[in-house]
């Protein structure tokens, strides 16, 4: 139920009664999308926030209440909000020119639907390049079981920060200014598509250096941090800082915790194109869920997190107390961000924003070991959709099945099918691929069949072959795209379309006019 500033009790009581009659709170929470100042590295910049009337960021409903939101656009430009990872009715998905018209400045839009999931989700603008300037917020769906997972729960939103506007960054990428150095370029593998040879930094082609990577420690059955000689990860946007809960490590959020108690960290990669490694340091963590969906608990202190993915990590504070930084290092960079857990009377240590060594590319070390708690029912795949991830770095155009969006090429399916999506990749950067409106299960990695994690976003590293499966039980037209903002914006986007879907809002031609064509 929305908190009302009204002093009159009667309307509130009426509200509660109506809400109860409908089996839950139906009064919408108003989410105001607006510009706010933010100080980063001593300089004040203007960013976007999604706030409730009382200043709460985002929206975290009880599952049993359902989802009831009115988005109020207080920006000077259009927007829409997408509820990342939620299984919802198609026209509630919040994608302009696919499932709704943009919300004009000063206008609002209602989103109402029952909730089918619980756990760590998030919301973000699906309009233009607004995601880089933090048109995003947490979306935690609560149940008594979610609350019982730990003594204390903390949401950590990770992001990337640049003093350069997203429009300028895109211009730079298109003109080659942000391109990785070409001196490390070598010919691509023989079997790669022709255009992939134009991409710089093919995996294994940059000269090996000392890099931080994730390793599975077989003896202790846990994920750990290791330093090895390997190529640095290829990245195409270089940020000025990384932030956690909108703060750099110069002035991180300090979270008070109690000795001996457990803390569940709900970590969200809300970045526009920075993948992360999450380092819990001296605290042994237990990974309980990815993308809001339970996995067989697996231990470690060093985890991979692709853009738009989430990690639920449970840690226990030692009885003797102390200060415990929870850090995230960017893929292919030395930059760090994070929060610090401290017990009473302990001050947080001074932390550097820079690690001494850069990191390797995200890979399948972690994904191969994840197992779903609630796998899909056993049944063969009826139809496999190909998803060949490609691109042309010279033109800065990114493609799925050789096509750059906007276009009218859809991946077509029918209700009732078990659908597979077979990802192949010919580019030197990995792509965090997100399918709207469904949970999918990772069922095959590099030829090995597994009962892998349920997810809504899959990191496809360079050189890998990965298949996911889902049950086609949610009729509609659903975006499937790379979640690196600049790849999504320059073509790596398509739609999975059910037979008989309502496509009245699908206007790729209008989108091309409004956002421009990548070609
Ligand atoms: Cu991508």
Q: Which of 4-18, 126-140, 380-394 has the lowest mean pLDDT?
A: 4-18
Residue 137 half-sphere exposure, CB side, CA atoms within 13 Å?
A: 20
Q: Kindly give the distance from the C-alpha atom of residue 154 to the centroid of ligand 1, in angstroms, as a whole number.
A: 29
Q: Which of 436-440, 475-479, 500-504, 509-513 has the lowest mean pLDDT?
A: 509-513
Beta bridge partners of 216: 223
Confidence grade of residue 393 (pLDDT, cut at 50, 70, 90): confident
Q: Which of 5-14, 69-78, 203-212 has the lowest mean pLDDT?
A: 5-14
Q: Kindly give the distance from the C-alpha atom of residue 386 to the centroid of ligand 1, in angstroms, as a whole number.
A: 16
Condensed to tens digits (0 to 9), the pLDDT of residues 265-279 reads 999 999 999 999 999
Q: Kindly give the distance from the C-alpha atom of residue 36 to the centroid of ligand 1, in angstroms, as a whole number.
A: 29
Condensed to tens digits (0 to 9), the pLDDT of residues 33-70 reads 999 999 999 999 999 999 999 999 999 999 999 999 99
Q: Kindly give the distance from the C-alpha atom of residue 362 to the centroid of ligand 1, in angstroms, as a whole number.
A: 13
The H or E element spanning position 151 is none
Q: Kindly give the distance from the C-alpha atom of residue 491 to the centroid of ligand 1, in angstroms, as a whole number.
A: 9
- DSSP reduced 3-state for 134: coil
Q: Kindly give the distance from the C-alpha atom of residue 448 to the centroid of ligand 1, in angstroms, as a whole number.
A: 24
Q: How far apart are CA 93 and CA 419, in angstroms?
A: 20
pTM of the model: 0.91
Q: Kindly give the distance from the C-alpha atom of residue 487 to the centroid of ligand 1, in angstroms, as a whole number.
A: 5
Residues near 42 by beta carbon (within 8 Å), at least 6 away in sequence: none
Does residue 517 have a pLDDT over 90? no
Q: Kindly give the distance from the C-alpha atom of residue 430 to the centroid of ligand 1, in angstroms, as a whole number.
A: 6
Q: Kindly give the distance from the C-alpha atom of residue 429 to the centroid of ligand 1, in angstroms, as a whole number.
A: 7
Q: Kindly give the distance from the C-alpha atom of residue 56 to the centroid of ligand 1, in angstroms, as a whole number.
A: 32
Q: Kindly give the distance from the C-alpha atom of residue 111 to the centroid of ligand 1, in angstroms, as a whole number.
A: 29
How many CB atoms sit inside 10 A of residue 116's CB? 12
Q: How far apart are CA 424 and CA 196, in angstroms?
A: 13
Residues near 165 by beta carbon (within 8 Å), at least 6 away in sequence: 133
pLDDT for residue 383 = 98
Does residue 200 have a pLDDT over 80? no
Confidence grade of residue 394 (pLDDT, cut at 50, 70, 90): confident
Does residue 196 have a pLDDT over 80? no
pLDDT for residue 226 = 97
Condensed to tens digits (0 to 9), the pLDDT of residues 69-92 reads 999 999 999 999 999 999 999 999
Ligand 1 ion local residues (Cβ < 5 A)? 431, 482, 484, 487
* DSSP3 helix / strand / coil % (the chain, rounded to 5): 10, 40, 50
**Residue 33, φ and ψ in degrees, nearest 5:** -95, 115
Does residue 128 have a pLDDT over 80? yes
Does residue 514 have a pLDDT over 70? yes
Does residue 116 have a pLDDT over 90? yes
Residues near 23 by beta carbon (within 8 Å), at least 6 away in sequence: none
Does residue 207 have a pLDDT over 90? no
Confidence grade of residue 395 (pLDDT, cut at 50, 70, 90): confident
Residues near 140 by beta carbon (within 8 Å), at least 6 away in sequence: 60, 119, 120, 121, 146, 155, 266
How many CB atoms sit inside 10 A of residue 280's CB? 22
Q: Kindly give the distance from the C-alpha atom of residue 372 to the centroid of ligand 1, in angstroms, as a whole number.
A: 25
Condensed to tens digits (0 to 9), the pLDDT of residues 324-366 reads 999 999 999 999 999 999 999 999 999 999 999 999 999 999 9
Confidence grade of residue 281 (pLDDT, cut at 50, 70, 90): very high
How far is Cα of residue 316 from the mean position of the Cα atoms in its chain? 26
Q: Kindly give the distance from the C-alpha atom of residue 221 to the centroid of ligand 1, in angstroms, as a whole number.
A: 31
Q: How far apart are CA 305 and CA 362, in angstroms?
A: 8
Q: Kindly give the distance from the C-alpha atom of residue 494 to the centroid of ligand 1, in angstroms, as a whole number.
A: 12
Does residue 4 have a pLDDT over 50? no
Does residue 295 have a pLDDT over 60? yes
Does residue 250 have a pLDDT over 80? yes
- DSSP reduced 3-state for 370: coil
């Amino acid at each position: 139920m929305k908190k009302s500033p009204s002093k009159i009790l009667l309307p509130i009581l009426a509200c509660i009664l109506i809400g109860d009659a409908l089996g839950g709170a139906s009064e919408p929470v108003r989410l105001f999308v607006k510009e706010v100042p933010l100080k980063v590295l001593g300089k004040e910049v203007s960013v976007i926030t999604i706030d409730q009337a009382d200043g709460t960021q985002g929206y975290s409903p009880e599952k049993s209440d359902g989802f009831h939101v009115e988005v109020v656009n207080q920006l000077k430009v259009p927007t829409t909000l997408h509820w990342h990872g939620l299984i919802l009715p198609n026209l509630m998905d919040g994608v302009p020119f696919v499932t709704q018209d943009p919300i004009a400045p000063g206008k609002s839009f209602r989103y109402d639907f029952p909730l089918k999931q619980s756990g760590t989700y998030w919301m973000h603008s699906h309009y233009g390049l607004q995601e880089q300037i933090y048109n995003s917020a947490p979306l935690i769906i609560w149940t008594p079981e979610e609350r019982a997972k730990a003594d204390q729960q903390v949401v950590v939103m990770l992001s990337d920060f640049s003093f350069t506007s997203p429009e300028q960054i895109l211009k730079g990428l298109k003109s080659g200014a942000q391109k990785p150095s070409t001196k490390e370029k070598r010919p691509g593998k023989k079997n790669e598509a022709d255009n992939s040879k134009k991409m710089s930094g093919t995996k294994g082609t940059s000269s090996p250096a000392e890099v931080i990577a994730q390793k599975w420690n077989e003896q202790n059955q846990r994920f750990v941090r290791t330093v090895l000689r390997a190529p640095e990860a290829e990245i195409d946007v270089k940020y000025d800082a990384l932030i956690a809960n909108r703060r750099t490590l110069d002035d991180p959020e300090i979270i008070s915790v109690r000795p001996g108690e457990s803390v569940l960290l709900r970590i969200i990669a809300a970045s526009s194109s920075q993948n992360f490694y999450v380092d819990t340091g001296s605290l042994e963590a237990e990974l309980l869920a990815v993308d809001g969906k339970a996995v067989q608990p697996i231990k470690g202190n060093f985890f991979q997190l692709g853009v738009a993915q989430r990690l639920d990590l449970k840690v226990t504070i030692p009885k003797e107390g102390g200060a415990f930084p929870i850090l995230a290092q960017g893929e292919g960079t030395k930059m760090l961000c994070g929060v610090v857990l401290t017990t009473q009377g302990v001050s947080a240590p001074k932390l550097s924003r820079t690690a001494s060594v850069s990191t390797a590319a995200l890979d399948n070390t972690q994904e191969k070991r994840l197992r779903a708690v609630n796998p899909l029912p056993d049944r063969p795949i009826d139809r496999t959709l190909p998803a060949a991830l490609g691109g042309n770095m010279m033109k800065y155009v990114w493609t799925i099945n050789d096509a750059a969006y906007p276009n009218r090429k859809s991946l077509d399916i029918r209700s009732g099918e078990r659908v597979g999506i077979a990802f192949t990749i010919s580019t030197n950067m990995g792509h965090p691929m997100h399918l709207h409106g469904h949970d999918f299960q990772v069922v095959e990695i590099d030829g090995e069949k597994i009962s892998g994690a349920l997810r809504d976003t899959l990191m496809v590293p360079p050189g890998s072959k990965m298949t996911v499966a889902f049950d086609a039980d949610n009729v509609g037209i659903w975006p499937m795209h790379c979640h690196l903002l600049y790849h999504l914006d320059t073509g790596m986007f398509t739609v999975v379309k059910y037979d008989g879907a309502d496509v009245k809002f699908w206007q790729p031609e209008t989108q091309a006019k409004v956002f421009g064509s990548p070609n």
